[in-house]
Amino acid sequence: MVSGPEFRRVLKTVEDRCRKQSIYMVGPEKARFLRSLILRAKPRCVIECGTAIGYSGLHIADSLRRSGEGRLITVEINHERAMEAEQNFYKAGVGNIIDVRTGDAAVVLKEVYEAVDFLFLDNSYSNYHPCLLSIMPRLKDGAIIVADNVGIGASGMADYLTYVRSHFESRSHWFELDLPWASRDAMEVTIYTT
């Protein structure tokens, strides 16, 4: 369940724009999964790498609003997209719990100083492992790490997958896709332990 008519209107506008402009986004099935993880874990600080124009960020923020007092720091390398996402967050009424940062996520994350209990990786595949290494000193014991596109992008993030699968409890969750060029993809959920 997604809350409020104005929130739903903005979410729908963002989803339609992503589809029309071929801006990649997680899409409804994966968003539902992400929401369920956040509602269960009730994180206080979520980090997202790869904001685009805010589709997944809207879902994360709405789940945080429902589950407690958490906030989201989301990082996007493309300045225009970051600005558009920020506007969408304010229009949807969740701007006050989201901090949009611009730059290369692996670099920006080195300047996050709070403890992190949920990390969502959805930027360039080769950046997943560097992002994890940058934020690792801030990850709480038991933090949840979700990496998108581990089915279609496995070879581009082989370093990341090898690392999390050999160090932590890690599992792929598969989804059917309605994309013309891919029918299935997965998200990898990893439980970080110190």
Ligand X SMILES: C[S@@+](CC[C@H](N)C(=O)[O-])C[C@H]1O[C@@H](n2cnc3c(N)ncnc32)[C@H](O)[C@@H]1O
Which of the ranges 38-46, 76-84, 154-162, 181-189 carries the binding residues for ligand X, by CB under 6 A? 76-84
Measured distance CA(117)–CA(144) in Å, rounded: 6
* One of 3, 13, 67, 78 touching ligand X (CB under 6 A): 78
Q: How many CB atoms lie within 10 A of CB 194?
A: 8
Binding of residue 122 to ligand X (CB under 6 A): yes
Binding of residue 72 to ligand X (CB under 6 A): no
Binding of residue 52 to ligand X (CB under 6 A): yes
* Cβ-based burial of 166 (10 A; exposed 0-12, middle 13-18, buried ≥19): exposed
Measured distance CA(75)–CA(181) in Å, rounded: 27
* One of 37, 56, 84, 143 touching ligand X (CB under 6 A): 56
Bridge partners (DSSP) of residue 190 are 145, 170
* One of 11, 26, 135, 161 touching ligand X (CB under 6 A): 26
Binding of residue 123 to ligand X (CB under 6 A): yes
Candidates 149, 151, 186, 189; CA nearest to 169 is: 189
Cβ closer to ligand X: 23 or 193? 23
Binding of residue 55 to ligand X (CB under 6 A): yes
SS3 112: coil
- From residue 144 to residue 173, what is the string marking binding to ligand X with x (rule CB under 6 A)? ------------------------------
Which of the ranges 20-28, 35-43, 62-70, 167-175 carries the binding residues for ligand X, by CB under 6 A? 20-28
Candidates 38, 25, 40; CA nearest to 119 is: 38
